[in-house]
Structure 1
């Protein structure tokens, strides 16, 4: 009987560092596997707290077929109040289960995995959906996800020469701009929301619970908007755009901007297709429109990156085994 192992956050980060292109490829393959129907990706379950309306813990169970053949669940918390204490907003674990027996294989620290798969998805979308390399990049939100998004965009050869960073917290905007200047020699600067929204490539990485980009705002033709945090845009801003999703059904929930657009219009005529469909050449887009990519965040992506890390950790001897973790190993 297979044993049970733990992979620490330090080891996860060590395996992820310098492997951005590999992670992007794992995410690409997972999207295509999901598109082919060889996955099970139920709705995420949100655990909310009456006295902490901005906090939540989310369960993302999934099965990823193809070469991985693995099941599992990510359990990720988002407590925005942590930021004021200088602590990370999000923390997470990922459990991998053997598909043949159903038994858990490993427990992995997963905040880094979650950030990496989110950033890899954004980088993949940036390269697949951009007609040309952006001259300017606008980043709205100055936290860990924004930093990781820029890391993966750089790995995907998306220029970060001129970056406008906006955050309601000036210290966060400064931290991100200082990071971009030091690591990528970028001409990054703290900017207004309007300046960030006017860039060729716009990234939303906030914790906003409801839209604040006004209904009358219109992105220009050719702009690419990575709607990572999903709730920044008034639904009216989506209607004149090509709207590309990771999974349409998943995005039409929980009052995301696309969900609000569906409620506003009473239908899904604004939906253009999925990123996998774009990668396969199945989605027709309009050059006279902006493009908005809205990824709800699929559990199969966490499994893809987590299983790849598990295999590498096994090869490199990084797993901490827990002998005797299972109390009964035989039926009789």
Structure 2
């Protein structure tokens, strides 16, 4: 068993935006072509504690170098008050020859980077005739910062970011971090969510909301909303939008905004297409200038697999990780002692 901790995962992925984007794009393409296996994620919830959860995401990514495994990710929003990260995760990759677990990786970094790459790919693929020069981020946590980094990688003209968080001190700290990393980036903090929604035609929602709390009424026509946290928008706002998802079966469950919209409307006809279909299409997608387009990614386990496999393949020749040769039982009949 090869064990790769957070620092080693960072060592591989830091500065590797192009490789991460390519890996996530490939995973979306393969999923659209039917080259994946993706059971529904398992949500472990706790009696009398609805805010916290642990999710298991098993997946298989096929074709030339197939890979299978699972991500086990906990979301405990109260951690932030204690100075801990909201999310923590571990990933296991299995041998496709024997099924034995081969690699154990710290998973929160992988999860954050694949989420950011997914949002950035959508922002570039769901384009408009007007170049994006600014983005509004609602939710100033780890995921929001990673998304901003990847948006800047795919949208070089991005010059302004407008921030909003229910905790003003988090927004101010986020703004300071932005200025330290990107001194040329103009950073503003909005006084309310509606001001952030109206500021730019590119909006990202990355909050810990458990139920809808926003409409798209304040958005400009032609706005693209990256609905990363999935439960921010009212079902009525979803039904009035052009909706792009990663996988309809996965995203229309567990009381997401799209699940509520499906229950309200009685069908999934409000979903226009998937990001995999957009990326596989011969013609580029152009979002309408008179409506809001919403990208709602459930967060497919195949994306985590793609990045975990990238980390494993790059780590081994670099000598990274800790090898535990006796992690598994000895083969039957092997000499003992």
TM range (shorter): over 0.9
Contact 1:219 1:237 survives alignment (8 Å): no
Q: Deviations over 1:95-135 (max 9, x none)?
A: 00011210111100010000000000001001000213223
1:286 Cα offset (Å): 5.5
1:206 paired residue number? 207
Give the TM-score of the pair, scaled to structure 2.
0.94
Contact 2:27 2:303 survives alignment (8 Å): yes
In the alignment, which of 296, 299, 302 is matched to residue 300 of structure 1?
302
2:64 paired residue number? 67
1:221 Cα offset (Å): 2.8
* Helix, strand or coil at the partner of 2:278: helix
Contact 2:126 2:286 survives alignment (8 Å): no
Rounded Cα–Cα distance in structure 2 between residues aligned with 1:68 and 1:54: 38
2:178 paired residue number? 180
In the alignment, which of 55, 58, 76 is matched to residue 55 of structure 2?
58
Contact 1:41 1:62 survives alignment (8 Å): yes
Unaligned segments of structure 1, at least 5 residues: none
Q: Deviations over 1:2-37 (max 9, x none)?
A: xx1100100001111100111010000000111111
Q: Note closer, same or farther for the CA distance 1:282–1:234 as it changes in structure 2 (3 Å cut).
A: farther
1:310 paired residue number? 312
In the alignment, which of 317, 327, 330 is matched to residue 329 of structure 2?
327
Give the TM-score of the pair, scaled to structure 1.
0.95
1:138 Cα offset (Å): 0.6
Pairwise CA RMSD: 1.6
Q: Note closer, same or farther for the CA distance 1:286–1:203 as it changes in structure 2 (3 Å cut).
A: closer
In the alignment, which of 26, 30, 36 is matched to residue 29 of structure 1?
26
Number of residues paired by the alignment? Answer: 328
* Helix, strand or coil at the partner of 2:239: coil
Rounded Cα–Cα distance in structure 2 between residues aligned with 1:286 and 1:153: 18
1:159 Cα offset (Å): 3.7
1:282 Cα offset (Å): 6.9
1:240 Cα offset (Å): 2.3
Q: Note closer, same or farther for the CA distance 1:237–1:317 as it changes in structure 2 (3 Å cut).
A: same
**Deviates most, 283-292 or 269-278:** 283-292
Contact 1:141 1:206 survives alignment (8 Å): yes
**Deviates most, 141-150 or 275-284:** 275-284
Q: Note closer, same or farther for the CA distance 1:237–1:331 as it changes in structure 2 (3 Å cut).
A: farther
Rounded Cα–Cα distance in structure 1 between residues aligned with 2:136 and 2:75: 24
Rounded Cα–Cα distance in structure 2 between residues aligned with 1:58 and 1:242: 28
Q: Deviations over 1:26-80 (max 9, x none)?
A: 0000001111111111111011112321000000001110233011000000000
Unaligned segments of structure 2, at least 5 residues: none
**Deviates most, 113-122 or 320-329:** 320-329
